[in-house]
Structure 1
């Protein structure tokens, strides 16, 4: 696998951190890279699909946790979701940088 393919696959995962700067950036960043580069490599397609599916799953988890803030359980769940998201994205970046396939646990496969 060439370096450019690997770099675009890493970008699919790393752009999930855009959500900490731009609203919905955690979904928009990976979605844009995946949509633009999925036809150039099966590896980018697979890793981009994984990243987008995981970020959609996390968005649903954040929404549910946000609703549960009304009963005070959601505050803890929001923190757990944020920590889980960061840890999984960092693991995905590390595995992808090594050229390995990465599948997010607990991700709903929408795409």
Structure 2
């Protein structure tokens, strides 16, 4: 549960930096517990993979949005702002669901996550 919730804390604490810290908490928990607690290691790895994926999507969206905003003279923002809000809400909801499931002892799998850490 703490692996998932630490992503929320990291995202909130680094929100002024586009939330890049969302994967630091799961990384620390996974590294500390991967050899001793199998369930914590599994959920830490799952949270880490999801938050790395979310960071990649966020950075990609930002990199794509800047030139599109310039080319469309700001019209892209009509699409970009609501889409960014939806992506943020989806990240928040999925993270909370994962924390609840992990607290219940259920191994949660995020619907969208690159399996970068094996």
TM over 0.5: yes
- 1:38 is aligned to 2:29: no
**What is the TM-score normalised by the length of structure 1?**
0.84
**What is the TM-score normalised by the length of structure 2?**
0.80
Q: Partners of 1:63 and 1:76 in 2: how far apart?
A: 16
Secondary structure in 1 matching 2:40: helix
The alignment of Structure 1 onto Structure 2 pairs a total of residues equal to: 102
- 1:85 is aligned to 2:91: yes
Structure 2 unaligned blocks of 5 or more:
69-75
Give how far 1:39 is off.
1.1
Give how far 1:32 is off.
0.6
CA RMSD of aligned residues (A): 1.3
- In the other structure, the counterpart of 2:72 is none
Q: Partners of 1:13 and 1:96 in 2: how far apart?
A: 8
- 1:12 is aligned to 2:3: yes
